Structure formats: C-alpha cells, structure tokens
Structure 1
Amino acid sequence: MEAVVSTPIELLDESEELSKMILSSQIYQSFVEARQTMLEDEEAQRLIEDFNHHKIKFEEVQRFGKYHPDYSEVTKALRLAKRNMDVCESVSAYKLAERSLEKLLTEISELLASSISQNIKVPSSNPYFDETSCSGGCGSGGSCNC
C-alpha cells in the first residue's frame, strides 16, 4: 500500500481492501477452521464449561483472598481445570491459530502506525517480545508513557 490516500472515500476503499486481504489469508482461514473444530468438539466444550464453572467459584473466593477457608482448594481446582482445557487438542489448536491471527493484526497495526509516525504506539498483548508496542494498552503507565 504505497499509494497516498487523499480523501476519506479512498481511505475507506483501501481499508476495505486490506480487510478483504486479511479475511482471505491462510492465517484467518486456519483460525476459522480451528474455532469451528473446537466448537464442534463435545469434550472441548465440556472442559471449557468446567473451567468457567471453576473460574466463577474462584472469583467468589478471591474477594477474601487466601483468608477464605476454601481458597487453596478452589485455586487448585481452577488450575487443574485450566490445564485440562489447555491440553485438549482442539482448544490448543484454536489458541495457536488465535495467537497467529493476533500476531498478524498487530504487525499490520504497527505498519500502519509507523507509516504515520514513529511515535505512535500500538497496544499489544505480548510485553516480552514486542519491542515497538506499549504492551499494556494506553493508560497502563508502561514504558511507552501513554
């Protein structure tokens, strides 16, 4: 996208073209397929439901922290439910595809931002590997000072 866009209509046309390119990419198609596979996997859905159940219990107990009598039992059950969910093949494939799509979108955002100004920071979910992002979102008080 080397062309200089001079009108809002041209900008909308270019953004629509970029959107179509993303939607037709192999990364996006892999994400859609992995999501559909996970949604159709009964075991995955059971594990996700179990994790969400334990997560709700944890949120109730967390209000009192380690002083709640069931804190360590509920925390352990939540970690076990998360591990069981994460090792499920369709869930892990979905998460991998999701991270690939997120990486693509972050790279595109960084390219767009840097084409305007090197001072524009792009929020990212990975504070350890993304040097050009502010990694915490604006207002986080991070190293980008946004």
Structure 2
Amino acid sequence: MLATMERLQIISEAQKLAEMVLQSEAADEYRKSFFKLNNDLQTQKKIKEFVKMKDLYSEVQRFGRYHPDYKTINIRTREAKREMDLDENVAAFRKAENALQDILDQISVIVGKSVSPHIKVPTGNPFFDAGSSCSGGCGSGGGCSCSA
C-alpha cells in the first residue's frame, strides 16, 4: 500500500482524535476508577472470590443439577457476584467504562456514516442501531428483509 498524502492526513487526524479521547474527562475518570479498582484490597478480594466461584460454577455446569453441590455452588456464585457488583469501586469502574465506550461508539458511528449511510457500525448499543431494522450482523445480504 502506497502512502499517499490523503492517507497520511487521515492517519494524522485519527491520531489527533485518539489524543483528544485520551485527554477527555471520561478517559481520565476511567483511569482513576481503574486504579482504585486494582488497588483496593477489599474490592480485589471480592473479585477473586467471584472468579473462584465462577470456576466452580462452570465445573458444576458440566453435570447440571445432578452434581451433588449444584444448588450450593449456584447460590454462592450469585451471592459472590452480588457482593462484587455492589462494591463501590466496581460500580464506579463500570460507569466510567460505559461512558468511555459511549464516546467511542459515537465516534464510530460518525466516521462510518460520513463514509456512507449504508455502513453498519457495530456499537452494541440499540440507541445507535435504531435507524436499521437489522441488528447489523445478518450476513445474508438483505435476505432477512433488513434495509441492507
């Protein structure tokens, strides 16, 4: 691929955009919450407990309800998840992560739609997918009667 002036300009603008995202308030909040999440001992203890229970749960799922500890492991896994989810550092991190993801989704939609209104941008957010009757991944070339 030859480096043309147009391509170099696009790369330069993309780097500027990336730098703006990195300097944004959402990215700063993400970094702060990530630091707190990784450095709080109680939060890490809850996360490790959940991971341990999740591993036990996947072992139990191989046998289903016929496993002798099925009910106990199932309940303990849900309790560990609830404990982890209710931790203030985990909640703050998820909120910051979603805010940053929303910014990246908006950028993807703007870039995609500036190229063509028919480009499907996988955002994972139904708000951005509202303009199409297709979820964006049918792969049938319009065979599902979407607006592809």
Q: TM-score range by the shorter chain?
A: 0.7 to 0.9
**Cα RMSD, aligned residues only:** 2.9
CA distance, structure 2, for counterparts of residue 143 and residue 53 of structure 1: 45
- 2:15 maps to a residue whose letter is E
Deviation at 1:133, TM superposition (A): 8.2
Deviation at 1:116, TM superposition (A): 0.8
Deviation at 1:40, TM superposition (A): 1.0
Matches within 5 A, 1:26-37: 26-37=25-36
* Contact 2:30–2:100 under 8 Å retained in 1: yes
Stretch of structure 1 that moved more, 102-111 or 5-14: 5-14
Larger Rg, first or second structure (1 or 2): 2
- Aligned equivalent of 2:50: 51
- 1:103 maps to a residue whose letter is D
**TM-score, normalised via structure 2 length:** 0.81
Higher relative contact order (CA 8 A, sep 6+): 2
1:131 aligns with 2:129: yes
Structure 2 unpaired stretches of 5+: none
Deviation at 1:132, TM superposition (A): 4.3
CA distance 1:69–1:42, shift in 2 (3 Å): same
- Aligned equivalent of 1:16: 15
- Aligned equivalent of 2:88: 89
Stretch of structure 1 that moved more, 64-73 or 21-30: 64-73
1:19-42 Cα distance to aligned partner (Å, 9 max, x none): 000000000000000100111110
CA distance, structure 2, for counterparts of residue 111 and residue 140 of structure 1: 22
CA distance, structure 1, for counterparts of residue 122 and residue 102 of structure 2: 12
Structure 1 unpaired stretches of 5+: none
* Contact 2:43–2:90 under 8 Å retained in 1: yes
CA distance, structure 2, for counterparts of residue 68 and residue 140 of structure 1: 40
Structure 1 segments, 4+ long, off by >3 Å, are 132-146
Aligned residues: 141
Deviation at 1:125, TM superposition (A): 3.0
* Percent identical residues: 34
